[in-house]
Amino acid sequence: MKPILLYAALLMAPAAPALAQKPTKLKYPTEDNSRIYDAVEQPAVPKGGPQGYADYLANHQKYPTAAMQAKQEGTVMVTFVVEKSGGIGEVEVKQPIAPLLDAEAIRVIKSAPKWTPAHHKGKVVRQRVTVPVSFVLAGFGAAGGRHLHHLARA
């Protein structure tokens, strides 16, 4: 009888650590809160609408003096994420034209008011938006070369 018990104990010994482990909990897929949408059912909208946003950018843009003297002009394409809170994050230049103008475009975008966030499938989501910020020299008058910007989505 002792050899049978010893033999049974030896067979069960390798399984002992597996029996001592806690049961594994099944992991179900969860919604990815960090996902950034490019296309949504209801796009993010700037406070005051597209024209209000364009006016804000035009009125708060500061044309860098060195860029004016160098006669640098053009349109900087700026991409950013409208967060679920309506705030703006992950701002970057998608199409640069000159370092000073690129930096000013980023500054004015970051300083803009919050947006109404995007909605997709009934939930508030993060959305990537691209906005052109134009720098046009129209002489060195009182307006400083500032012109109305147009809002675009990419």
Q: Is residue 45 part of a domain?
A: yes
**CB-CB neighbours of 134 under 10 Å:** 21
Q: Is residue 12 part of a domain?
A: no
Tell me what pLDDT residue 133 has: 94
Evaluate whether residue 147 is within a structural domain: no
Tell whether 90 is covered by a domain. Answer: yes
Q: Which residue has the higher pLDDT, 143 or 99?
A: 99
Number of domains in the chain: 1
Predicted local distance difference test score (pLDDT) of residue 20: 57
Q: Give the CATH number of the domain where residue 125 resides.
A: 3.30.1150
The structure's pTM equals: 0.68
Supply the pLDDT for residue 145: 39
Q: Is the pLDDT of residue 114 over 80?
A: yes
In a domain, 36, yes or no: yes
Domain hosting 99: range is 29-135
What is the SS3 assignment for 30-97?
CCCCCCEECCCCECCEECCHHHHHHHHHHHHCCCCHHHHHCCCCEEEEEEEEECCCCCEEEEEEEECC
